[in-house]
Homo-oligomer: A and B are copies of this chain.
Amino acid sequence: MELESGNQEKVGFFVLGFLWVKRFTKKFLSEMVEIAEHAKKIARDDPRKVIHSLKVGLALNLVSLLYYIQPLYRNFGENTMWAVMTVVVVFEFTVGATIGKGLNRGLATLVGGALGLGAYHLSSIAGKPGEPILIGILVFLQAGASTFIRFFPRVKARYDYGMLIFTLTFCLVSVSGFRSDDLFELARERLCTILIGASACVIVSIFVRPVWAGEDLHKLVALNLERLGNFLEGFAGEISNSTEAKEFENDVQFRVGVNGILDSKNREDILANLARWEPGHGQFMYRHPWKQYLKIGNLTRQCARRVESLNSYLIPKTQASENNDMIQVAFSNVSSESGKALKELALAIKTMILPSSANPHITNMKIASGNLKSFLKSDFCEDTNLLEIMPVAAIASLLIEIVICVENIADAVNELASLANFKGRNSNGGGRNSSKRQCRIFDQLPEDEIPHVISINEPTLTRSQTI
């Protein structure tokens, strides 16, 4: 009997153990599958990330040759490891970041090493007992000063890594001088291996499927403009023909999209900083006006804040009336024309062609906005109270602000086009200039005198309708 229960216990333990192992394996496997899917998604979204990983492996193997090939190893000995270290630390995703870090590291090692040697020789005058004290004081002063300089915003943006390596090299050379016999040789060998490592990074980064920070910035700014244009066109569509079924899905997409634009400032700043390290490539010359992209980006975000507010006021379909219908047409016109203008501007940036094709839309947008204003001046709100027409007023006011934003964006894109020498559509700039002149003419007219001409495809709203 006892033997049997003992056996049963063993079987019980075995079953429990088996179940635990099974559950653990299942959980482990499902987690692995999840991670693999996540990795697959990242790779599919941006295949350049996979290529970058392979490039790092390649560069590392290139500098490893210094270890494997005897004549090369004889030159540098143990210091070969600095080449490997440099590759791991310096190789970044974009060419700009790699060049920036490589230059920072190379120059900082040179200057830090030279000053470190100087500090060592200075302190060796003091003789053995005083030497470590003098070195200590110099290290304290140097580390303190360069750590503080790293807080300067301009230094932080471009030379932070350089200041770090400067401190590192200065300390290593001056402190280890206390124990090393041939310090000069040591410093020379390290500098050489670091330069070899940094060069390997820069060469692989530029010549094997390069990822340019400048190009990414260029595309990001154009993409944000395009998305904003799409939202405005979508808003125009929703006003004239809303389908409630799709609303929630659209709303989630909209939130994600607008938040993406609003939160892109940091990324743009980083990319612009990196782009300044890059040599000329493709359509971009060295000293391409990257700062102008930041200006466009800031204006885009200002506009995006208005568009975000716009989304919270959809005119309920139930309140439809004759007045409502007319104002909806006016809203739809302004919104769709500004959306089209933004999309044309985005296309102009993307293709680096003069943004003349946006000008008709900008003109139409201004006319539509003028029409909206004159419509609002009419006795629209008879028999209604303010609370009911508040959404209408809010949308109108937001749309009028958006029109101003779009004009500012257009000016900034035009500025970019002239700074970066965008080409004309038919290789002559006449079209753009004449359209630009047309815009300027409208700018000088008082609002009421803007001719009521609307583009052909849009429902028209002339003054006679509003009276």
Contact = CB atoms under 8 A, between A and B. Distances in A.
* Contact-residue size bin, chain A (C-beta under 8 Å from the other chain): 35 or more
Nearest to A146: B53
B42 A151 contact: yes
A420 interface: no
A213 interface: no
Contacts of A50: 148
A64 B396 contact: no
Interface in A309-328: 309, 312-313
Contact of A42 (B152, B164, B389): B152
Contacts of A143: 53, 56-57, 60, 88
Contacts of A167: 56, 88
A398 B196 CA distance: 60
Contacts of A172: 81, 84-85
A259 B49 CA distance: 33
A187 interface: no
A386 interface: yes
Contact of A397 (B61, B393, B401): B393
A33 interface: no
A385 B381 contact: yes
Interface string A164-202: 100110011001101100000000000000000000000
A393 B175 CA distance: 70
| Most chain B C-beta atoms within 10 Å of own C-beta, residue among A50, A85, A393 | A393
Copies in the complex: 2
A49 B148 CA distance: 7
Given A60-B171, A61-B139, A85-B172, A144 B389 contact: no
A203 interface: no
Interface in A366-387: 373, 376-381, 384-387
Interface in A384-424: 384-387, 389-394, 396-398, 401
Interface in A86-120: 88-89
A67 interface: yes
B148 A53 contact: yes
Contacts of A397: 313, 390-391, 393-394
A265 interface: yes
Interface string A115-159: 000000000000000001001100111011101100110000000
Closest 3 CB pairs of A and B: A393-B393, A57-B140, A53-B148
